[in-house]
Amino acid sequence: MKKKKPFEKNQRLFVAFMTIIFIFIGLMGNYARLLIKHGEEYKTDAERRWFSKEEVTAKRGKILDSNGNELGVSGNVFRADLDLKTLREDGEDTDDAKARYDIGDVAGDMAKILGMTKEEVMEIINSTDSEGEPQNFAQLKRKIEANQAEALTKLKSEKEVRAIIISEDTKRYYPNNEFASKLIGHVNGDDKGLTGVELYYDKYLSGISGQYIQEEDGFSNPLPFTKPTYYPPVQGSDIYLSIDNRIQRLAERIAEKGKKDTAAESVYIVVSDPNTGEIVAMASTGGYDLNNPWISGKSYEELQASWRNNIVSDSFELGSIFKPILAAAALENKAIANDQIIVDCKGSINVAGSPIACDSGTSHGPETIVDILRNSCNVGCVKVAELLGADKLHQYIEKVGLGQATGIDIEGESEGIVLRTDEMGPVELATISYGHANTSTMIQYIAAFNAIANGGTYISPHILKEIKGYNSDGSTFAQKTFDTGRKKAIIAPEVAATVRQDLINVVNHPKGMQIPGYQFGGKTGTAMATEKGEYIAGKYISSFASMLPADKPQYTMMVTVKYPKPEAYYASQTAMPIAKELWTAMIAELGIKPTMPVTTTPTGN
């Protein structure tokens, strides 16, 4: 046999070595590719197989009013879970031992304690995973009361039901039931915000869940010589609202009374601080019990309607409360002067062949802008709009924020409708001038009205005062205060002052808004209701916007009455009396001092 030369031997070794190297590189490359592409998936799968993770729910933060009164809190309750593997082991006969209990009987006992049916409990016991395998663990019921937890613990002891696991849980409570319900909102079964403040500020209220992590073997048993790792939860932050419970309570009571007095479908009230944009009261009739939001017998659509915050969600034609905005636009653009005779009202005016009449049906004669506002003269408004022009009026409507979302910190805000200038002919311009054709929400209007009250500055309306977070030792820290956001000058200060004085003159008469010692500014407005772009015969929406004290307002208020009785639907008959009653109650409750001398008429025989 011929001997191989050393060179050939080395060459073969080299080839073999390089082959191994290339195979290794290929394997490593494939490993790297798998790691990059599926690494996270494999890691997650390994953690799922070898680590058990139990979430520890964080306690939800409180919701409080501006005075620190609790509006939404989380109480300590309990939850019941089942170790289904143990339940099956103890409830079945084996070669070595007889079953400790009958699973069906235990299911019936648990059902009675928890207010469930036996069938519901058995469905949980027989539940399977995504692969059709029996579950080893299942939630029986959350948010059970202490007496139910005690009864389950007793059952566990007496019948040796080791599978029952009782642990702490939290439950959301609303101490005042229906109070500010459409504003506060409520949570779902997992304590996540569903509506209102609970939804908008959910990320702050929820906190951060903790975890128990335990290493386990393939049979879900803890590995020896290992200890569980505990990451404690971070409690949710507390939300302090700008709402003043004193004013809110008065507003809700008077709104309900006003609804009854006017035979209306609904009454809505919003009270604001014009200098900060804070909403201090937001009241709607037809609230619901926050502790029982899922009213039995109602469809989901009906439930949503009862939860809806109409003050931010519903837009409508404003009617004559738009006229102060028109006055400000005309004065600022120097289309008119405050003491100028603008029109000689004959009771109606012809616009592009269409007669437009004053609602009173009477002529008002020569009028300045003050007279036009006091008489709520449609003819005068049409003339002002003609002098101003469509472009400038449209620009001003946009500048004050009508028909646009304000950005208020409440879910469900709508925008409304504002006609573009290319959609405005002479008739549209005329109807817009006295508050028709365009639509806005109450919150949009109060924000614009606030600019008249505070000297010309637009401040985003809001309900948040402060958010307080929790440190690990339980102490609190200021986490967030409201950022005024869109804070900008939109009305010249001298124009705002002029319109404010005009509004004083509007209501300063025996049939107006008078409370001895207090000077108000305000404007009424009544408009036909619309549905799907059509006016509804006999249906009206009446509003009254006012401010106190008128020379330097601390508060503004808007009252809107939806569908009052047709024989008395004007705002002077509906919204203004409601506002007067609320102003009177607020003056007494808050101790608002009079700014004018109180005159009395002497009496005698």
Q: Which domains does the chain have, with CATH numbers?
A: 77-129+136-172 (3.30.70.2110), 245-285+300-590 (3.40.710.10)
Instruction: Examine the pLDDT at 349 and tell me if it is beyond 50.
Output: yes
Predicted confidence at residue 602, as pLDDT, reads: 46
Instruction: Examine the pLDDT at 429 and tell me if it is beyond 60.
Output: yes
Predicted confidence at residue 603, as pLDDT, reads: 46
Instruction: Return the structure tokens found at 42.
Output: 């494999």
Instruction: Examine the pLDDT at 38 and tell me if it is beyond 70.
Output: no
**CB 268, CB 256: distance < 8 Å:** no
For 15-34, what is the mean pLDDT? 75
pTM here is: 0.83
Neighbours of 23 (CB within 10 A): 10
Neighbours of 552 (CB within 10 A): 14
Predicted confidence at residue 155, as pLDDT, reads: 93
Cα–Cα dist 278/267, whole Å: 21
CB within 8 Å of 488: residues ≥ 6 apart? 457, 458
The residue type at 379: V
Task: Write down the mean pLDDT value for the chain.
Answer: 89
**Three-state DSSP class for 216?**
strand
Predicted confidence at residue 519, as pLDDT, reads: 94
- Reference 376, options 393, 357, 396; nearest CA is 357
For 470-481, what is the mean pLDDT? 84
Tokens 């036996």 sit on residue: 118
For 12-37, what is the mean pLDDT? 73
How many residues are listed for the chain in this entry?
605
Predicted confidence at residue 223, as pLDDT, reads: 66
Instruction: Examine the pLDDT at 511 and tell me if it is beyond 90.
Output: no
Instruction: Examine the pLDDT at 604 and tell me if it is beyond 50.
Output: no
Instruction: Examine the pLDDT at 505 and tell me if it is beyond 60.
Output: yes
For 178-207, what is the mean pLDDT? 95
Cα–Cα dist 463/402, whole Å: 19
Mean pLDDT highest for which of 207-211, 258-262, 468-472?
258-262
565 band by pLDDT with thresholds 50, 70 and 90: very high
Instruction: Examine the pLDDT at 4 and tell me if it is beyond 80.
Output: no
Cα–Cα dist 141/215, whole Å: 27
Span of 12-21, 332-341, 498-507 with lowest mean pLDDT? 12-21
> Which residue pairs from 199-203 have beta carbons closer than 8 angstroms and sit at least 24 positions apart in sequence?
199/411, 200/409, 200/410, 200/411, 201/239, 201/409, 201/464, 201/467
Dihedral of the alpha carbons of 417, 421, 423, 429, in degrees to the nearest 10: 80
Question: For the chain, what percent of residues have pLDDT higher than 90?
Answer: 67
Cα–Cα dist 319/425, whole Å: 19
pLDDT digit string (tens) for 80-108?
A: 999 888 898 888 877 677 888 889 999 99
For 521-532, what is the mean pLDDT? 93
pLDDT digit string (tens) for 377-427?
A: 999 999 999 999 999 999 999 999 999 999 999 999 999 999 999 999 999
CB within 8 Å of 135: residues ≥ 6 apart? 84, 127, 128, 129
The angle formed by the CA atoms of residues 577, 530 and 301, to the nearest 5 degrees, is 95
Cα–Cα dist 321/37, whole Å: 63
The angle formed by the CA atoms of residues 422, 424 and 427, to the nearest 5 degrees, is 155
Instruction: Examine the pLDDT at 219 and tell me if it is beyond 70.
Output: no
Span of 31-40, 189-198, 345-354, 418-427 with lowest mean pLDDT? 31-40
Predicted confidence at residue 601, as pLDDT, reads: 47
136 burial via Cβ count (<10 Å: 0-12, 13-18, 19+): middle
305's enclosing H/E stretch is helix 300-307
Cα–Cα dist 442/312, whole Å: 7
| DSSP at 208 | B
Predicted confidence at residue 531, as pLDDT, reads: 87
Predicted confidence at residue 371, as pLDDT, reads: 95
Instruction: Tell me the torsion sign for CA atoms 551, 555, 556, 557.
Output: negative
CB within 8 Å of 476: residues ≥ 6 apart? 238, 468, 469, 470
Predicted confidence at residue 605, as pLDDT, reads: 38
